[in-house]
Structure 1
Amino acid sequence: MSIGGQFYYLQVHEKYNQGLHIPKPLHLSPPRDHEIPADSPKQDIHERWQEIHGSNHWQGLLNPLHPWLQREIIKYGELAQATYDAFDFDCFSHYCGSCRYSPSRLFQKLGLTRCGYKVTKYLYAMSHVDLPHLLNRSLTGNKWSRDSNWMGYVAVSDDNESQRIGRRDVIVAWRGTVTPLEWVENIQERLESIEQHDVDVKVEHGFLSIFRSKSEATRYNKSSACEQAMREIERVVSFHRERGEGVSLTITGHSLGGALALLNAYEAAISQLDIPIAVFSFAAPRVGNTAFRDRLKHLGAKTLRVVIKQDVVPKMPGIVFNEGMKKFEEITGSLQWMYTHLGEELSLDVSSSPFLKHAWNPIGFHSLETYLHLVDGYSSQNEPFSHAAKRDIALVNKACNMVVDELRIPPCWHQLANKGLVQNSYGRWVHPERDVEDIPCPLGSNLSYT
């Protein structure tokens, strides 16, 4: 950002904190690189990692938001954002529905080399439910798969990150929909028992289908997304336990990915891994009924939900019949057919940031980058947007139009050059073939730890 841009940025803070009108700048020079770091510093949290990971349900850490927890929330959010940034959703691509990069190059290609994690497994999902918008499909026929979609990955913290956070952290990151809010139109709004032996514990039918569907006729989903994730989690946990290391499991996801994260946490908790399990979800919808909430709490999995009050997705399904009806249980009895949220909530407000447009913008309200911007500037419910916010404001406009026009950041700027087309040796514009390493291949999706 130019000097003029930095001045306006600081001026906005000052005027906003004083409750004064924010003037438009007379002139802003074109953005350029500057020396202000875009990341907040990572603190050594090894002595308090259990609290940061939710051992005490984040009591005393949310309001005000402890800076160590704030940094970890952003870290897990950025790892979830990677599932969008690397997803090939070009409906004209032969590889539509896959990840653009191999596991070994994912973080390098996305500029996340300092994240402190190494990808060990890619996860693929399908669905036996007719949910066309939940699982993106190619218009031209998929060269790599007609049935499956890349839905996320398993990764493990490297030695330096493990030392900083006090344990070997295994994460699972789940992707949401590539077109926010479209899944709302297709949501089944039908609860289904998650276990045969306990029919009262129920979750949303469409989410469960994506998580558990499989078919021998497919290449990537002979096993379900659930089975893929759990096999890899168990393998990694066993590997590090044999080396005498403490291990935790952290599951993250945005929107649909937040729903899958909760289902993943349930499966991990009933598998008796005997490790701390925490979910950091963003914009997650309700997933199950009160029995599911109580069961997951009894199993010991901790959940922190980050929500924006203007975002409609966390209000779905069960806009009317939800946890707010609990006060009527004395009259109605136990409402096992009712959707409910679970865990702790960090509530954010778009109007708290002076850098965001406040007009109705459902896509912008739901964007994960908007969430991360608001977390970065959040101090407490009673304090204004923080001067200490570090994340680049331009990131908010990657896939939407939320940043005030005065900062001159173009909307939806994150895209491939020439929409992915390149000029071949004959001068024709074509979709390029991928590097061999980046072509989806389940046989090469496991990486060695050695």
Structure 2
Amino acid sequence: MWRQVQGSHDWDGLLQPLHPVVRDEVARYGELVVACYKVVDVDPSSARHMCCKHGKERVLEEAGVAGAGYEVTRYIYATPDVAGPPSASWVGYVAVSTDEMTRRLGRRDVVVSLRGTMTQAEWAANLMSALEPMCRDARPDVKVESGFLNLYASSASKSCRSAGGMGSCRDQLLREVSRLIKSFSEDMPGEDMSVTLAGHSMGSALAMLLGYDLAELGLNRDASGRRVPVTIFSFGGPRVGNAAFKDRCDELGVKVLRVANVRDPVTMLPGAFVNEGTRGFLNAVAGGGDRYTHVGVELALDFLSLRDLGSVHDLGTYVSSIKAETCGKVPDAVASRRGGGVVAKAMEFVESQGAAAFAWQEAALGGLVQSLGLI
């Protein structure tokens, strides 16, 4: 049932209750993203600061997922140029399933695994919430957050030895994913393939941009011209673009499963107060203009630790909650307020105060997210 697990029917009937195969597959992809956090060098004094500490041949073993059944083919770097001199940071990897894993899965699986925010420059980019066209010439109506686009499309520097001269995060990803599709479809004609993009927080935003690009540019077609399905598993992901971006992703057949803790404020940003669900006064204030809109199908979680508020966005806790099957059991009162507690009170306040309060409340929620160490 791999096509259904990858969203061929938008996970209809598989989420409530959560199908055990879907549960295991979503958790598996989450663990491949957790691996990104385990191997990045966060020592500021290191010559490889914000690069991966291990070579491609050993990285999954060092991250504790040696039996994942994938071979890493390329490391990916992003270079936001919004805070100081541009500097490349390792954000994840591209991998492909081994022959043994391919037989188990029923198809050759190309995986992109992307981490969330870890540097000040990435933080600065995340908070650039203005919408701008993804492709100014081709589809100016399709708009995405300027900060995420900056991370995705800015050219890499030579601060990481492996990143020098390789172009932007976008260039690296498009080149490697399309290469793998072409290579394996030529070597193994007739073999089914899938492209799975898995990311946490900022990484899920980058995965969304990549999924759109692959489908819009037609790079998800194999050597015979068959379309290779593109699926995104987003963990604690923010909104990325406007309604036109969502609609175009739907038209292109990009499938997105958003795994979201209803108490996680990151999943409410950007566009916390003017979005696809805005009603009443703020709906009139928006004036029918661009609004941030979530893409895909939501798999709702509900977890909170008062001793560690930052855990509402922790990827490890996301994966543990999926394994514990706490999905789809969200109380209506909690789901209706999307966040509960402090976030819910902030939303209630801005709705009561109107337009004058909108801008600074949106910024305040962003500040809350940053102070908790989220994204």
Normalising by the smaller structure, the TM-score range is 0.7 to 0.9
In the alignment, the residues of structure 2 paired with residue 185 and residue 299 of structure 1 have an alpha-carbon distance, to the nearest angstrom, of: 27
Measured after TM superposition, the shift of residue 377 of structure 1 is: 0.7
1:323 counterpart residue number: 276
Measured after TM superposition, the shift of residue 147 of structure 1 is: 2.1
**Amino acid of the residue matched to residue 65 of structure 1?**
L
2:184 counterpart residue number: 240
1:339 counterpart residue number: 292
1:188 counterpart residue number: 128
Q: Give the TM-score, by structure 1 length.
A: 0.66
1:209 to 2:150 alignment: yes
**Amino acid of the residue matched to residue 377 of structure 1?**
A
Q: How does 1:69-80 map to 2 (within 5 A)?
A: 69-80=22-33
Distance 1:107 1:202, change over 3 A: same
In the alignment, the residues of structure 1 paired with residue 156 and residue 30 of structure 2 have an alpha-carbon distance, to the nearest angstrom, of: 31
Distance 1:186 1:277, change over 3 A: closer
Measured after TM superposition, the shift of residue 178 of structure 1 is: 2.9
1:264 to 2:210 alignment: yes
Does the CA contact (< 8 Å) of 1:249 and 1:276 recur in 2?
yes
In the alignment, the residues of structure 2 paired with residue 69 and residue 54 of structure 1 have an alpha-carbon distance, to the nearest angstrom, of: 10
Distance 1:125 1:330, change over 3 A: closer
Equivalent in 281, 294, 300 of residue 253 of structure 2: 300
**Amino acid of the residue matched to residue 210 of structure 2?**
N
1:158 counterpart residue number: 98
In the alignment, the residues of structure 2 paired with residue 52 and residue 227 of structure 1 have an alpha-carbon distance, to the nearest angstrom, of: 28
Distance 1:269 1:334, change over 3 A: farther
In the alignment, the residues of structure 2 paired with residue 324 and residue 162 of structure 1 have an alpha-carbon distance, to the nearest angstrom, of: 40
1:253 to 2:192 alignment: no
SS in 2 for 1:253: strand
SS in 1 for 2:81: coil
In the alignment, the residues of structure 2 paired with residue 221 and residue 206 of structure 1 have an alpha-carbon distance, to the nearest angstrom, of: 22
In the alignment, the residues of structure 2 paired with residue 258 and residue 68 of structure 1 have an alpha-carbon distance, to the nearest angstrom, of: 22
1:82 to 2:28 alignment: no
Query: What percent of counterpart residues are identical?
Result: 39
Distance 1:217 1:246, change over 3 A: same
1:372 counterpart residue number: 319
Q: How does 1:334-413 map to 2 (within 5 A)?
A: 335-350=288-303, 358-359=305-306, 361-378=308-325, 381-382=328-329
Q: Which has the higher helix share?
A: 2
Measured after TM superposition, the shift of residue 378 of structure 1 is: 1.2
Equivalent in 60, 65, 82 of residue 129 of structure 1: 82
Structure 2 alignment gaps of length 5 or more? 221-226, 332-375
Measured after TM superposition, the shift of residue 366 of structure 1 is: 0.9
Measured after TM superposition, the shift of residue 286 of structure 1 is: 0.6
Measured after TM superposition, the shift of residue 380 of structure 1 is: 5.2
Measured after TM superposition, the shift of residue 362 of structure 1 is: 3.3
Q: Give the TM-score, by structure 2 length.
A: 0.79
Query: Which is greater in Rg?
Result: 1
Distance 1:334 1:80, change over 3 A: farther
In the alignment, the residues of structure 2 paired with residue 254 and residue 68 of structure 1 have an alpha-carbon distance, to the nearest angstrom, of: 21
Does the CA contact (< 8 Å) of 1:329 and 1:335 recur in 2?
no
In the alignment, the residues of structure 2 paired with residue 97 and residue 81 of structure 1 have an alpha-carbon distance, to the nearest angstrom, of: 16
Number of aligned residues: 317
Structure 1 alignment gaps of length 5 or more? 1-47, 138-145, 352-357, 385-450
Equivalent in 166, 171, 177 of residue 227 of structure 1: 171
In the alignment, the residues of structure 1 paired with residue 18 and residue 130 of structure 2 have an alpha-carbon distance, to the nearest angstrom, of: 36
Measured after TM superposition, the shift of residue 83 of structure 1 is: 0.9
Does the CA contact (< 8 Å) of 1:173 and 1:251 recur in 2?
yes
Equivalent in 144, 147, 150 of residue 87 of structure 2: 147
